[in-house]
Structure 1
Amino acid sequence: MATPRSKAGTKGVPRHLRRRQMLEAATQEFAHRGFAAASLAVVAERVGVTKTLLHQYFGTKEDLYVACLTPIGDELLDTMRTTIGEAGATPGTPLRVLRALFTALEGRREAWFVLYDRTLPPGGEAARAAGAYWAAVDALAADGTAELLRASGSTDPLDADALRHVWTDLVGTLVRWWVKHPEETPEAMTRRCTRLFAVAAALAAAPTT
């Protein structure tokens, strides 16, 4: 079924409302198709405006992507910093962070794919903006995993580096799975992760012989 054409582009719509509608439509387009395949014409059609007007509001395609990315990146990064800052890195931190991310993304789960868009053209403003968020998230993960390892008695920097990669890949995998299962609420997903972590801990503690 075709997406109904919005009336947002009709005369008399307040500028701030039209801008918000453009950003919402663009966020969906970037999330579902990726930057490389995203169409500004489709975004304009969804909002009910011309492509020319879309350019007048946001400039280039990269400018529009950055406008969509910034509120998403800022909120998710702030969510992680706040959650970790509540008690520092403890054994319960991974689940607290996941629960906070699921809650922040509920109602707009596709926003994750805007933040982690692997189709961005290298060297451009879009890639630089996304890369800054990726680096900030990786830094939080590196600090947290290193702190957890120190608490367990490990000071091996390679342990910390390996665990950081495991953690960041795990978060991305869990979010992508969650997006494919819209029936899973943030609370249900947190409980599922709790069960999965318990199984992983049991396997790690099992004898190897």
Structure 2
Amino acid sequence: MATPPSKAGTKGVPRERRLQQMLEAATDEFGSRGYAAASLPAIAARVGVTKTLLHQYCGTKEDLYVACLEPVGERLLEAIRTAMGPGGTTPHTPLRVLHGIFTALEGRREAWFVLYDTTLPPGGEAARRAAVYWSAIDDLAAGGTAELLRAAGSRDPLDADALRYVWQDLVATLVRWWVKHPEQTPEAMTQRCARLFAAAATLAPEDHPG
């Protein structure tokens, strides 16, 4: 998953390609180590450029983080919105959302940890920008889980709030497991989730008359 050191910084590399290499290396670094522990010299070394050149291209560490954050945030939002669709939430929507998330992250799975980085300095631009994406994704989760409960006959707002928390933690846990199993494709992972959901459904208490 990590980007190995390369000769990418040598002369002759087009500017856009060099910038892309820097962003890929930075995504690896932020995703694997977290913002607080990430090192600009380490990122530069991954690409094969100097720290000075990295600054010239990408600005400060916070600027570089934001440049890595925005693509994954936009990809995930688009994937979730597309999976939810315009017709409302159905029992199949959770699996579609999960498949959309896995597909959006494939090839750059550590980007999930760039988006959900708990080491961001509070009050800074990085934390502010990340919070915008967190809030948008949370709003989609809240709307979708509430619709599922209404379809199941529950209008208790506490049920909706509890299910939202369960769903958010479930998604994060499944992504973390998937990152540790790189051989699992998005399609295979979605099928696995379908089996897990089916097994979980058997744990529901049966209705008894009276």
Name the TM-score, length of structure 2 as normaliser. 0.94
| Residue aligning to 1:57 | 57
Whether 1:72 aligns to 2:60 is: no
- C-alpha spacing 1:106/1:61, structure 2 compared with 1 (3 Å): same
| Residue aligning to 1:149 | 149
Alignment of 1:22-61 (within 5 A): 22-61=22-61
What percent of counterpart residues are identical?
Answer: 75
| Residue aligning to 2:135 | 135
2:159 and 2:185 map into 1 onto residues whose CA distance is 33
Greater shift after overlay, 78-87 or 91-100?
Answer: 78-87
Instruction: Report which of the two has the higher share of helix.
Output: 1
Name the TM-score, length of structure 1 as normaliser. 0.94
2:4 and 2:124 map into 1 onto residues whose CA distance is 33
Whether 1:172 aligns to 2:172 is: yes
- C-alpha spacing 1:205/1:147, structure 2 compared with 1 (3 Å): same
Alignment of 1:105-144 (within 5 A): 105-144=105-144
Q: Which runs of 5+ in 2 are unaligned?
A: none
Q: Which runs of 5+ in 1 are unaligned?
A: none
Greater shift after overlay, 50-59 or 131-140?
Answer: 50-59
- Tell me the number of residue pairs that the alignment of Structure 1 and Structure 2 aligns: 206
Greater shift after overlay, 10-19 or 172-181?
Answer: 10-19
Give the alignment's Cα RMSD to 1 decimal.
1.5
4+ runs deviating over 3 angstroms: 205-208
Greater shift after overlay, 158-167 or 79-88?
Answer: 79-88
Q: CA deviation at 1:7?
A: 1.5
| Residue aligning to 1:190 | 190
Q: CA deviation at 1:192?
A: 1.0
Q: CA deviation at 1:44?
A: 0.5
- Give the secondary-structure state (helix, strand or coil) at the position aligned to 1:122: coil
1:42 and 1:189 map into 2 onto residues whose CA distance is 32
| Residue aligning to 1:100 | 100
1:4 and 1:190 map into 2 onto residues whose CA distance is 30
- C-alpha spacing 1:8/1:202, structure 2 compared with 1 (3 Å): same
2:28 and 2:20 map into 1 onto residues whose CA distance is 13
